[in-house]
Amino acid sequence: MTGMKKRAYYPGSFDPFTNGHLDILLQGMAIADEIVIAIGVHSSKMGLFTFDERKALIEELLPQALRARVSVESFNNLVVDAAKAAQCTLLLRGLRDGTDLDYEMQMAGMNGAMSDEVQTVFLPSSPESRPITATLVRQIAGMGGDVSPFVPQSVVDAIAKKFN
């Protein structure tokens, strides 16, 4: 199996893409040759940003050195099935705290029961990004607060356009 590329699937809503998401992506680059950022798209859920807007924001903020190793796609089915379809053997999940761990352990167990071809890898959030959630960023922005400590500048600008 030497020489095979390790492909990782990094699923989420990424609405918006936060510094916490970027933290986990950069950590994932140390263990995977390629990462598929998988944006969950569900017709019943309206996000702040459309899939195309989220994809463009993510691609724009990727450092040039990583662009060849990262792709962005959508999925609307089971994560484990989408990861297999994307030919990924790793599933990246970020952990902020014990609550995340409890939930993610259940998900990893269920995914493992559905497929032994995809292994879940947990990555701890860095201390500075640990409290950040996309939900809180949307709430802060919706109430006119400053989200610049929590998201890349291009996302700050895109959020400002949405709320103006």
Structural domains of the chain, with CATH: 7-163 (3.40.50.620)
Task: Give the pLDDT confidence score for residue 43 in this predicted structure.
Answer: 73
Report pTM.
Answer: 0.93
| Chain segment 56-109, per-residue pLDDT in tens | 999 999 988 889 999 999 999 999 999 999 999 999 999 999 999 999 999 999
DSSP string spanning the chain?
-TTPPPEEEEEE--TT--HHHHHHHHHHHTT-SEEEEEEE--TT---SS-HHHHHHHHHHHS-GGGGGGEEEEEE-S-HHHHHHHTT--EEEEEE-SHHHHHHHHHHHHHHHHH-SS-EEEEEEPPTTTTT--HHHHHHHHHTT---TTTS-HHHHHHHHHHH-
What is the pLDDT confidence band of residue 2, given thresholds at 50, 70 and 90?
Answer: low
Q: What mean pLDDT, rounded, does the chain reach?
A: 94
**pLDDT tens per residue, range 26-64:** 999 999 999 999 999 987 778 899 999 999 999 999 988
Query: In this predicted structure, what is the pLDDT of residue 84?
Result: 97
Convert the pLDDT of each residue in 134-145 to its tens digit.
Answer: 999 999 999 999
Whole-number pLDDT of residue 1: 47
